[in-house]
Structure 1
Amino acid sequence: MRNKVTRFTSRYPMVIKLPTHASVTTASKLMAEHNVGAIMVIEEGRLTGIFTERDLVKRVVAMGLSTDETVLGEVMTPSPITLKSGESVQFALEVMTQNHIRHLPIEENGEIIGMVSLRDLFAAITEELKENIDTKDAFIFGEVYGATSKAA
């Protein structure tokens, strides 16, 4: 299960959700407080959009809109792509690359249970590659790789 996106739901157990009528200021403060780059936008209990740092820059700041007066429903990315909880890290990376996105909500039984970011995926892949290299080094050079042997 190590290579499944569900591994990230335990790292980020709280899914940050706001309604479409919440202000961009409220969303930005929550994102800063929880150190996340995106939040889910919910309407009537259903995921209707995602609001990301990129949305903030391109659709609010660059357009000269007021963060206090602008609501998420006006500037969110609607109908975001989601991942099923059993999907692999590799598949998630492919989806992000093909769609030029950096955050994907994780869905299980119709409910959003978490979110994975591009940074999360790179960290997971880097960790896996390091473990593979360490395993191969141990096989090739033995467990005491780097230690000097004593002459008899």
Structure 2
Amino acid sequence: MKTVQQILNTKPIQIFSVSESTSVLNALKLMTEKNISALLIMENEQLLGIFTERDYARKIVLQGKTSMETPISEAMTANPITVNPKDSIELCMQIMTDKHIRHLPVVAENKAVGMVSIGDVVKFIIADQKQTISQLESYINS
């Protein structure tokens, strides 16, 4: 069984986060600078929420709020669904599909240790399948 930890092992160890008092505009600037589409909202290492491009579109743009004046706490998804590094990649896929979400914070011992995206999951599965196919081809050809 492949695990979330195996995905995290393929990524740089970086957690991009802001505090809940950060303006939406500053959060968007950080997301643009880091070329990411989701940020964790944290206070003193405690995960409070997640802010995604979808949150921006639905909770700021469509509601006529301004990015400069609105704190991220008003736009974030509070108490996000999380996974543990020991959870299976299949569980991630199921959660993402069932809940229509693209990012899952990874939490171990009440501390955020990373985040996986649907892109990370798909990339990992494709690489794993290619490896399996290559091993089967080698077995058949030998």
TM-score, normalising length: structure 2: 0.91
Residue 47 of structure 1 and its aligned partner are, at CA, apart by: 1.0
Amino acid in the other structure paired with 1:25: L
* 1:1-152 paired onto structure 2 within 5 Å: 3-10=2-9, 11-140=11-140, 142=141
Counterpart amino acid of residue 48 in structure 2: T
The corresponding residue for 1:148 is none
Counterpart CA distance in 2 for 1:95 and 1:124 is 16
Computed over aligned residues only, the root mean square deviation of the Cα atoms, in angstroms, reads 1.6
Give the gaps of 5 or more residues in structure 2: none
The amino acid of 1:22's aligned partner reads: T
Ranges in structure 1 where 5+ consecutive residues have no aligned partner: 144-152
The aligned residue for residue 149 of structure 1 is: none
Which residue type is aligned with residue 137 of structure 2? D
Instruction: Look up the equivalent residue of 2:63 and give its one-letter code.
Output: M
3-state secondary structure, aligned to 2:4: coil
Change (3 A) 1:8 1:25: farther
Contact 2:20 2:43 in 1 (8 A): yes
- Asked if structure 1 preserves the Cα contact closer than 8 Å seen for 2:105 and 2:112, the reply is yes
TM normalised by structure 1 equals 0.86
Is the radius of gyration larger for structure 1 or structure 2? 1
In structure 1, C-alpha distance between the alignment counterparts of 2:44 and 2:126, rounded to whole Å: 39
Contact 1:8 1:114 in 2 (8 A): no
Partners of 1:7 and 1:69 in 2: how far apart? Answer: 40
CA apart distance, 1:121: 0.2
Contact 1:105–1:116 at 8 Å: present in 2 too?
A: yes
- CA distance in 1 between counterparts of 2:44 and 2:136 reads 51
Amino acid at match of 2:104: L
Counterpart of 1:84 in 2: which secondary structure? coil
Equivalent position of 1:146 in the other structure: none
Q: Is the 8 A contact 1:5 1:89 kept in 2?
A: yes
The separation in 2 between residues aligned to 1:85 and 1:107, in whole angstroms, is 7
